[in-house]
């Protein structure tokens, strides 16, 4: 579904607002935020995702 021109301008305005908001932050706040993102990224790199199939046990007790 292609974006309408109105949606694109809304997204552009929102992006500019976020950039302006980011410029208002101090260097310390930016550093702390970047540090949090870095720590999250390191944690996600170490994460192992294991898929276990879902077993529906609600029907095991029923005798058919």
pLDDT number for residue 38? 95
CA distances from 47 to 23, 43, 44, 51 (A): 33, 6, 5, 13
- pTM of the model as a whole: 0.45
Distance CA 28, CA 6 (A): 36
Quick: pLDDT tens for 10-47: 888 988 998 888 888 889 998 998 999 999 999 999 99
């Amino acid at each position: 579904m292609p974006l309408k021109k109105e949606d694109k301008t809304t997204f552009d305005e929102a992006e500019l607002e976020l950039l302006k908001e980011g410029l208002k932050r101090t260097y310390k706040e930016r550093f702390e935020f970047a540090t949090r993102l870095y720590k999250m990224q390191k944690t996600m790199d170490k994460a192992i995702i294991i898929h276990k199939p879902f077993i529906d046990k609600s029907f095991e007790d029923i005798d058919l």
